Each structure stands twice: as structure tokens, then as C-alpha cells.
Amino acid sequence: MTPTLSLDAPAALWLLAALPVILILWMLRPRRPRVRIPSILLWPSSQAERQAARPWQRLRNHPLLWLQLLIAALLALAAAQPFVPSEVVQRQVIVLLDASGSMAARDIQPTRWDAARASVVDLAKSLRPDQTLSILRLDEEPRLLLAGTRDAQQVEVALRDEQPSRGGIDQAAAVALASGLVRGEQSEWVMVGDGTVPPLPEGMAPPSGTRVRFVPIGSPTASNVALAGLTIRPVAAALALQLAIQNAGDQPASGTVQLLAEGERVVASSSFEAQPRDQAYLTWSGIDTGPRWFEARLTSVEPASANHLFSDDHAWATPAQGGSASRVLLVSGGNTFLERVLAIQSGLRVEKISPADSAVLLAQPEAAYALAVFDRQSPGTVASGQGSALYIGGVGGEAFRPGLIAPRPDHPLLRSVDWSEVRVRRAFTMSESSSGWETVVDSDGGPLLSIRTLRQETAPDQPARLRREALLSFDLGDSDLPLRPAFPVLMANLVDWLVPSNQPLEPAIPAGAAATLHAAPLAQALRVEWVVDPDVSEDLAPPWPPRPFHPRTPGVYRVLQEGLQPQPERFVVAEAYAPSEADITPRTPALSGQSGAEALDAAAVLRSVRGGLWPWLLAALLLLSLLEWGVDARGR
């Protein structure tokens, strides 16, 4: 469809009334200065002279007349602020604004993000009066920035404080959000960005009839060198670090990387060379184990045109954080299988006690255990101040012989656990007073494995905490479970769930993503703070469970757990490198390729002209004025 001219101020077209005025002026007999001469005998007579007696004259077909009419028409048109609208044809326009990490690239000045915002504002200016514009911000968590407007100023305000994220785009969420926005009406989606969009999941597509168009942002020659990952491993009494460098461009690149201890002291500096579309590696060994975290910093890249994205020029890593082992109390009259399987669990310090002495020990508040394992002991004997509990047998219900065992598929606690060969001779039903249990392994007689999470109020002025319990409703001696490979795996899964490791579950949070940090069972609060600026902190819990941590700035964060003695020092790294954003070469998004929408014209879709047609009109007016001057001068 050929775009037609639209006017932003159509009321100004009343200036076209100047055209008949010009015609009238040309029809009026001009008053010229009177010159007295000896005789007019020799002077040629003119048309005007023949009509001198009348106040008007016949309209002459003179080039000056046409030029003046054209200039007046152009002036009126310029006052009406014409513009060529985009090829957007639907009334409802959804702008999918790419806010992924690659939009921070500086291959166009000042950034792709600024250019994309300007394009959206231009699009808003080019809309017809009957069109509305909605803006969806595309990143890991797509959200609606503006709905149903055609006010370009409002669009500017909405985009003013927005900045690109560091991660990729959740394309499926974006399409779902946009689809819900249009409510089944015909709409046109205009994607503004560099096209680094993952493909849609199978079967997901924009609504039928949706016209999808793309406004490419970015230079085709854009390149990027990224620090793809920094890893640390202990070697003897020192540390060895390895850095992966990714050259995501089409030209060879070289440069220098500095290794800093805790972001302040340079401990090493190395040069690298990376071939196009390849990775290079730097290794440092013999690094002192003292620093709690390291930072690799890309300080220079040659040629400079090989690196247009600076946000992934840093990488961080923390050495393995040992921490203190969790104390586990095994209350058992003697169970070799149980003692051995607990002994091989890392990070646990197991203390064994007889059931007779357990009540006294557990009653002491200073003897806080992260986990108490009760072998053939009744549930509920653990003091409130203690941690989690694992009950194995000792359930006082009715005995039954499970015939058919039904483990819940895909349950995390049953990961890699093969129950198919496990046989149970006798199990017990749970008492009716027990509540809140979630069955993990069921049978035709009753649950075999159950878990629950209790909210435990400690004191009126203290926040509540969570207590986890697991229950095997049969004695290990009444089954062949301890003889099966499933047993150590099951116990490892149970211990991991009952006693979250001191190591963060997410050793590094991907760029732009959120992660749930687990706290120790006895922790009363969970908080993270940025090592560069402790004032940048965030309370994750309470309330429990902790809410996901979404780091705003890449770097190293300290994880603080209140209520633990001693206070473990844990760090979590928010990565700057996003694999999906490292290659910043603009490309055609695959949005419509899998959809039923119209074919995507990836080249040039948006035809809006920044600032309207003013520059062209002014240039035309200038040329016409010069032409009029020339015609007038030649006529003399």
C-alpha cells in the first residue's frame, strides 16, 4: 500500500485562501509609477494599457503567476505540517520495542536504544488520527509501557527513563501479552529493534490476520567482543582462573584484559587475540587465595570498531565458598545404612545420639541442628528451635503391605531415583492428626514418602521461619530400599531439600535473569547487597519463601543470612554476559516466520519522516523563490 500524505495541523490549510487572493491581485490593474515623457508615440502599447480604463484586467498566463501560486500552496502545506505516515494500516498499532541487552550497543550514536526510542516517537507522530499506539517493552519480563495513545509527547515521556536490560527476550510472553492487548481485533505489530529475538515456541503465533513489520535498528557492521565467563578452580594452595573471550564480530580482534582482586587491585593483565566468530581463552595460575572475588575487565580492544557493546566487558567469579558444615543429629538406635548414607553427604557434620538422650539434647537452644534424622522415632519430638526433620519409620498408624507403588513423576525429590525395583514389606499409615503432608511416593495402602513445610513462629518480635519435614512411612529394615541404587540418590535429594547447601543454588545469575536464593533453615532473614556499594541492597526474606533476586546491576553481591552463628559469607555473581545478546549483528526476527501474519518486510517498513516534510518543503520554497527571482529579472 502506498502511504498517503497526512497533515498534523490540517486547520492551517485555510491559508490556501491566499491562492484566490493572488489571482485577484493579478487581475487587478497594477498601479505603476507615472513617468512624464515628451511623447508616447514611440513606446509600444501593452495589454494593460488597452484595459487601463478598467480596474481589472484579463488574467495573464505568466510564469510568475504560477510560481507565486505554487509558493503560496507550498507555504500553506508547510503550515499544515505534512508528513508521510508509516505503512501502518490498522487502527491498533502495537510497538514491540526491543529492550534486550544488545540494544545498548553503540554502533549507532548514541545508542541503538536511543535510536529505537526516536523511531517509536516518529511512529507516534506519523499515525493517522484514527490510530492508537501501544508500546510493549521486550526483555526477560515483557511489560506494557503505554496503551492506546497517539500522543507523541506521551510516548516520549513513557520512554524517557526506560533503559535496555542486559538479557534476552521472552518472546513467548511478549506475544502472549500483545495478543491479549489486541483482544481479537485486527492489529499491526511493529517490532523496533535489532532482531536478536529467539524463535517462538512451537504452535505459538500472533493472532491470525496480524500484520507484523520490523524497523531495523543497528549497523550491519556492528561487532562485539565479550567476556563470556570467568571460572576459578583451586590448584594446590593457590587459584587458577580461566577467562573465555568471545569475538562475535566478523573481524579479528585483539586486546588486553585485567584481572582485579575484589575490584580494586590488579593482580594480572594479559593480551588476547580472537578470530572472527571464535572464542579465545586466558588463563592465570598461582593467584593468591585471599580475595573473596575476582573481576576480569576488558580494558582495550583493537580495532575499536570490533567492540560496540560495552556492557559485557566485565566478568566476575568467586572462589569455592566452603562455609561451615551443617550440623545433623542422627537419633537412632543403630542403622548402618543410614549412618553411611549420611556420612557421604557433603557439607554435613553428623552427630549420632540414642533416642533416650535425644530429648535432653534437642531441648538445649544452643544445640541448634540444621537437620534431625529420627530413625524409627515418632514425629513431633523435635524442639521448636531446631531445624528440619527426617522421620524414617516409627509412624504409629496401621500397618499395611504396599502392593502397587506410585512415585510422582517429575517430582524434584525423585530426580534420578528408580523406584521400580524397590519393594516394601510393611509400612504404616499416618495418624489422622498429621496434616499438611504432601505425598511424594504413594501406594495402594497409603503414602510411602511425604514432605511438608511448616511455618514456625519463634517469638512475637521475631519473624517466622520455615521448617521442612520429610517422612518415610516404613522402616528401612522392612524394605530393600537401602540395597538399591535409589537409596543414596533419594537421601541426597532429601538432604538437599531439608538442608539447603551453603553454596548458592545459582552460583551465577544469568544476565537479566532472576534467581531464587535459598537460605539456611535457621536463617531469620535473607538479604543481598552489592559489594561495590553496600547501600545497594535488597531484602529477599521474610516473608518466606524468599522472593526471586533480580539484580539491577551486574557484579558481585554478598548474601547475608541473619540469625546464623557464625554468619556464613556467601557471594553470588550477577553475570553481564548474555549469550543471546553477544552477537549484536542486526538480523531479521523470526517472529512472523512461524506465524500466520503477513510476510515480514525486513528492509524498510517504517516510512515516517523525522520532523515531517518540513526540510523538503523549505528547500522547494527556496528553489522556487530563486526561480521566481530569475524569471522576474529575465523579464526585465
Q: How many CB atoms lie within 10 A of CB 193?
A: 27
Residue 527 C-alpha cell reads as: 538479604
Q: Which stretch binds other proteins (CB under 8 A): 35-43, 90-98, 106-114, 558-566?
A: 35-43
**With contact defined as beta carbons under 8 Å apart, do 152 and 95 qualify?**
no
**With contact defined as beta carbons under 8 Å apart, do 156 and 63 qualify?**
no
How many residues sit close enough to other proteins to count as binding (CB under 8 A)?
Answer: 23
Interface with other proteins (CB under 8 A), residue from 183, 202, 565, 636: 636
* Contacts (Cβ under 8 Å, ≥6 apart) of 222: 105, 107, 249, 308, 584, 585, 586
- Give me the least distance between CB of 54 and other proteins, in Å please: 12
In whole angstroms, what is the distance from residue 225 CA to residue 301 CA?
A: 8
635 binding other proteins? (CB under 8 A): yes
At 564, which amino acid appears? L
48 binding other proteins? (CB under 8 A): yes
Looking at beta carbons only, is 38 or 290 nearer to other proteins?
38
Residues between 126 and 155 with contacts to other proteins, criterion CB under 8 A: none
Looking at beta carbons only, is 38 or 55 nearer to other proteins?
38
Looking at beta carbons only, is 58 or 265 nearer to other proteins?
58
44 binding other proteins? (CB under 8 A): yes
Looking at beta carbons only, is 44 or 203 nearer to other proteins?
44
- Give me the least distance between CB of 633 and other proteins, in Å please: 10
In whole angstroms, what is the distance from residue 417 CA to residue 440 CA?
A: 12
Q: Which stretch binds other proteins (CB under 8 A): 41-49, 309-317, 399-407, 420-428?
A: 41-49
603 binding other proteins? (CB under 8 A): no
Q: How many CB atoms lie within 10 A of CB 545?
A: 14
Q: How many CB atoms lie within 10 A of CB 405?
A: 18
1 binding other proteins? (CB under 8 A): no
Of 128, 42, 133, the C-alpha closest to 92 is 133
Q: How many CA atoms lie within 13 A of 591 on its CB side?
A: 37
In whole angstroms, what is the distance from residue 589 CA to residue 183 CA?
A: 24
Interface with other proteins (CB under 8 A), residue from 2, 11, 30, 130: 30
Looking at beta carbons only, is 27 or 623 nearer to other proteins?
27
Interface with other proteins (CB under 8 A), residue from 37, 236, 237, 603: 37
At 167, which amino acid appears? G
Q: Which residues pair with 470 in a beta bridge?
A: 390, 451
Q: Which stretch binds other proteins (CB under 8 A): 25-33, 268-276, 340-348, 525-533?
A: 25-33
Q: Could you tell me the CA-to-CA distances from 403 to 392, 424, 442, 629 in Å, in that order? A: 20, 8, 11, 106
566 binding other proteins? (CB under 8 A): no
Residue 287, SS3 per DSSP: strand
Please give the sequence-ordered ranges of beta strands (E in DSSP) within 376-437, or none if there are none.
388-392, 399-400, 405-407, 427-428
11 binding other proteins? (CB under 8 A): no
Of 39, 37, 57, 38, the C-alpha closest to 49 is 57
Q: Which residues pair with 348 in a beta bridge?
A: 326
* Contacts (Cβ under 8 Å, ≥6 apart) of 418: 484, 485, 486
Q: Could you tell me the CA-to-CA distances from 255 to 225, 282, 299, 302 in Å, in that order? A: 9, 12, 7, 6
Looking at beta carbons only, is 47 or 251 nearer to other proteins?
47
Interface with other proteins (CB under 8 A), residue from 2, 4, 45, 109: 45
Interface with other proteins (CB under 8 A), residue from 2, 4, 11, 42: 42
* Contacts (Cβ under 8 Å, ≥6 apart) of 324: 502, 566, 568
Looking at beta carbons only, is 45 or 109 nearer to other proteins?
45
Interface with other proteins (CB under 8 A), residue from 41, 237, 404, 459: 41
Task: Say what angle helices 63-79 and 614-635 make with each other, to 10 degrees.
Answer: 160
- Give me the least distance between CB of 151 and other proteins, in Å please: 52
Interface with other proteins (CB under 8 A), residue from 2, 39, 109, 435: 39
46 binding other proteins? (CB under 8 A): yes
Interface with other proteins (CB under 8 A), residue from 24, 52, 238, 304: 52
40 binding other proteins? (CB under 8 A): yes
58 binding other proteins? (CB under 8 A): no
Interface with other proteins (CB under 8 A), residue from 2, 4, 11, 35: 35
Looking at beta carbons only, is 29 or 376 nearer to other proteins?
29
Q: Which stretch binds other proteins (CB under 8 A): 6-14, 23-31, 245-253, 439-447?
A: 23-31
Looking at beta carbons only, is 49 or 288 nearer to other proteins?
49
183 binding other proteins? (CB under 8 A): no
In whole angstroms, what is the distance from residue 599 CA to residue 590 CA?
A: 11
Residue 333, SS3 per DSSP: coil
Residue 632, SS3 per DSSP: helix
**With contact defined as beta carbons under 8 Å apart, do 474 and 423 qualify?**
no
Looking at beta carbons only, is 42 or 603 nearer to other proteins?
42
Interface with other proteins (CB under 8 A), residue from 2, 4, 11, 36: 36
In whole angstroms, what is the distance from residue 279 CA to residue 248 CA?
A: 8
Looking at beta carbons only, is 35 or 356 nearer to other proteins?
35
- Give me the least distance between CB of 66 and other proteins, in Å please: 19
Residue 226 C-alpha cell reads as: 565479550
- Give me the least distance between CB of 115 and other proteins, in Å please: 54
Looking at beta carbons only, is 42 or 404 nearer to other proteins?
42
- Give me the least distance between CB of 627 and other proteins, in Å please: 19
- Give me the least distance between CB of 12 and other proteins, in Å please: 34
Of 336, 337, 380, 326, the C-alpha closest to 358 is 380
Task: Provide the sign of the torsion angle of the four alpha carbons 203, 206, 212, 217, taken in this order.
Answer: negative
Q: Which stretch binds other proteins (CB under 8 A): 37-45, 382-390, 438-446, 538-546?
A: 37-45
- Give me the least distance between CB of 149 and other proteins, in Å please: 57
32 binding other proteins? (CB under 8 A): yes
Q: Could you tell me the CA-to-CA distances from 554 to 125, 317, 392, 405 in Å, in that order? A: 36, 12, 44, 47
Give start and end residues of each alpha helix (H) in 262-420.
336-343, 355-363
409 binding other proteins? (CB under 8 A): no
Residue 29 C-alpha cell reads as: 490593474
Q: Which stretch binds other proteins (CB under 8 A): 31-39, 183-191, 263-271, 477-485?
A: 31-39
The residue ranges that bind other proteins (CB under 8 A) are: 29-46, 48-49, 52, 635-636
